[in-house]
Amino acid sequence: MSDFGIVSFGAYVPRYRLDRQAIAAAHKWMAPSLRGLAKGARAFCAWDEDSVTMAVEAARDALGGRGAAGLKVIGMATTRPVYADLPATALVAGALDLPRGLRSVDSGYSQRAGMSGLLAMLKGGEAGLFVASDAPLGKPASTQEMTFGAGAAAFVLGSENVAARLIGAGSVIDNFVDHYRQEGAAYDYHWEERWVRDEGYGKLVPEAARAALAEAGLAIGDIQHLVMPAMLRVAAGDVVRKLGFAGNVVDDLQADCGYAGAAAAPLMLARALESAGPGDRILVLSFGQGADALVLEVTDAIVKARPARGVSGSLAQALMTDSYLRYLSFTDQVELEWGMRSEKSAKTAMSEVWRSGGQIEPFHAGQCGTCGTIQFPQLQYCVNCHAPGSGFAPVSLRDAPAKVMTQTADSLSYHPSPPLYVGFVQFANGARVQMEMVDIGPDGIEPGTELEMVFRVKEKDRQRGYSRYFWKAAPTVSGNANKKA
């Protein structure tokens, strides 16, 4: 039996949740049938979130306090890459301050890219970090708009303290076109649902599942948990019945998140690992131009592998909204008139981004070697004792405890999610930084509120199609759970 597998895992679901009743209400004049899907809420990205920022947050959750020195490879899967020709893994690795010698693998092009990528890294046997992050977009008034969501799941792989090991796998590759998206298009084109359910999910997924069970030397009755995400929810039930599975079918997260594309199966796997016990076996199924199936066996190390937030914690930090227009604006599906203040140029100097990357990407302040003062950004001289900056030591502010010192809600300046909250953030280590604050409910935010740092889009250069990333401050889960925006 392999001594290589999942060492730890983590997850992230955007805080913004849109009540599905609001979507149905917006379209009732032309698509009244949508009210049948108007249950629960779907997750969606804030204007400054995307597949990269979600990947960073999921990876932080998976890494926890573990060091990254032993990692050899980083992989990421998404069907919604920020760039067509710029690797997301480089952005994620920079934000996490991972070793420069990592090999990187970016993948996508299929709803099963998340599990295909994880399977490839499990088979590869190299210590690494794998992240699946996705935010599929449904056309307004479509069933996909109602059922889609967003999120990311991350897995640290290694040979020590393995919490779940791969004991069987099966795959089917087939040019079965249930949907597709043309290069440059915003939305997918979907084929007839019954045909997709019967000929696609109903035949390809069981074939992969049986191959995985055969490799593991198990029968379906030996499985305790089954992960079966499906863009068509009814198709998942059909697969379960065809396999004759009678155990725990893992929650598909529809009530509070939605179908998260290539991240759907990894998120459900993370959810299963949160509650699975030693000795449990998990069958993970994933469909998309074929199918993948993985059989994982949980070990005694699962107790220490569970993350601080995970899927459960992410779902609990909802920031509810019933504003359908907010959703459309955040996802660039409607162009609003923001006035002349929004017309400034946002051209980014790539050379300066590279020169300052060691501070900006991982959020490293500098600690003076003479007086101990911590400052961000690092200057040529200490702001306190004026000692030269050559004596500074890097100090990470990503995970440092922090609180609101001062705050201002600015409704005059242009901001994609007004008002713009800015103020001084006081870190427990003595650093004090003026920062943007995000994910704040209608009651605002008060001095003394506990904060956590989140990796977000700082500014979008829409003229040239480039996004600058930086860290922002957000209320901790306990300070902003289940509020309404």
pLDDT tens digits along 40-86 = 999 999 999 999 999 999 999 999 988 888 999 999 999 999 999 99
Q: The CATH number of 5-177+191-323 is which of 3.40.47.10, 3.60.15.10, 2.30.29.30, 3.40.190.10? A: 3.40.47.10
Say yes or no to pLDDT of 193 above 70.
yes
Say yes or no to pLDDT of 324 above 70.
yes
Say yes or no to pLDDT of 33 above 90.
yes
Out of 142-146, 196-200, 379-383, 476-480, pick the least confident. Answer: 476-480
pLDDT in the model for residue 1: 45
d(CA 11, CA 132): 9
Residue whose tokens read 């449904």: 138
What is the number of alpha carbons within 13 Å of residue 56 lying toward its C-beta?
Answer: 27
What average pLDDT does the segment 185-202 reach?
95
Say yes or no to pLDDT of 285 above 60.
yes
As a whole number of angstroms, the longest Cα–Cα distance in the chain is 73
What average pLDDT does the segment 130-153 reach?
98
Q: What does the block give as tokens for 6?
A: 């999942």
pLDDT in the model for residue 358: 87
Q: What does the block give as tokens for 330?
A: 């955040």
| Kind and range of the H or E run holding 312 | helix 310-316
Strand partners, 287: 291
pLDDT in the model for residue 348: 85
Please spell the DSSP secondary structure of 93-131, one letter per residue.
HHHHT--TT-EEEEE-SSTTHHHHHHHHHHHHT--EEEE
d(CA 21, CA 431): 44
What average pLDDT does the segment 329-349 reach?
89
Residue whose tokens read 């001062």: 406
Say yes or no to pLDDT of 16 above 70.
yes
Q: What does the block give as tokens for 60?
A: 């932080």
What average pLDDT does the segment 380-406 reach?
95
What is the number of alpha carbons within 13 Å of residue 206 lying toward its C-beta?
Answer: 18
What average pLDDT does the segment 292-309 reach?
97
Q: What is the pTM of this model?
A: 0.96
- Whole-angstrom CA distances from 245 to 9, 213, 250, 294 are 26, 12, 12, 15
Say yes or no to pLDDT of 369 above 60.
yes
Say yes or no to pLDDT of 481 above 60.
no
Strand partners, 157: 6, 128
Domain ranges of the chain: 5-177+191-323, 340-363+398-484
